[in-house]
Amino acid sequence: MEPSWLEWARRLQAIAQNGLTFALNHFDVERYEAIRAIAAEMMAAGSNVGFDGILDLMSQDTGYATPKVDVRAVIFRNDALLLVKERDEERWTLPGGWADVGGSPGENVVREVAEEAGYQVRAIKLLAVYDRSLYAHEPPFPFHVYKLFFQCEIVSGTAATDFETNAVEFFAADQIPPLSLTRVTPAQIDRMFEHRRHPDWPTDFD
């Protein structure tokens, strides 16, 4: 679980963003900008990111505040799970990333696998919908995030990297390498292996 101060700061940021979306006069705009600045101060005090950077990030998000969507692909070959190594921190994760506007969740995860791992896949089942804030991701993230895990099967292609990844490999359950904790946690990986062993299980949520 994430610290309470981070949840409070996120809620203040959402109130500020929604207020700025619908504000009718400059007095309200000033009040909501002040609320957003307080949220940024809280996040800066509790992290190693500066106030200006956090406030700039918050200011870029406009319109009604809703959770962001991260999609992840769960691909098994026999009983080994496909992982990609991220160039930015030299740690491993399930292929995936932010969902783009204009594509369905399934289309987004298929695109992410092709870009990061080289394989053409088909999404066949939604295994889990997780609230990022309820899991041991590091570091904390300033926005609320839903993480969607899709079981996928390979249709064609061979392993290939791109500008975000520098390795693509399959790993057995007892050989999982160091993970990129901002993207996926060991508990989530373990749960995906459980889904592999119990294909009749329904979708996890929350």
Q: Which domain holds residue 29?
A: 4-60
Helix axes 4-22, 51-60, angle to 10 degrees: 50
| Total tally of structural domains belonging to the chain | 2
98 phi, psi to nearest 5 deg: -65, 140
Contact 150, 72 (CB under 8 A): yes
Do 8 and 83 fall into the same domain? no
Regarding whether 159 and 87 lie in a shared domain, the answer is yes
CATH number at residue 102: 3.90.79.10
Tell me the pLDDT of the chain (206 aa) as tens digits: 678 898 999 999 999 999 999 999 999 999 999 999 999 999 888 887 889 988 988 898 889 999 999 999 999 999 999 999 999 999 999 999 999 989 999 999 999 999 999 999 999 999 999 999 999 999 888 889 999 999 999 999 999 999 999 999 999 999 999 999 999 999 999 999 999 999 999 999 99
Instruction: Clarify whether residues 75 and 150 are in a common domain.
Output: yes
Closest Cα partner for 104 from 115, 112, 114, 95?
Answer: 112
Interatomic CA distance for residues 178 and 30, integer angstroms: 45
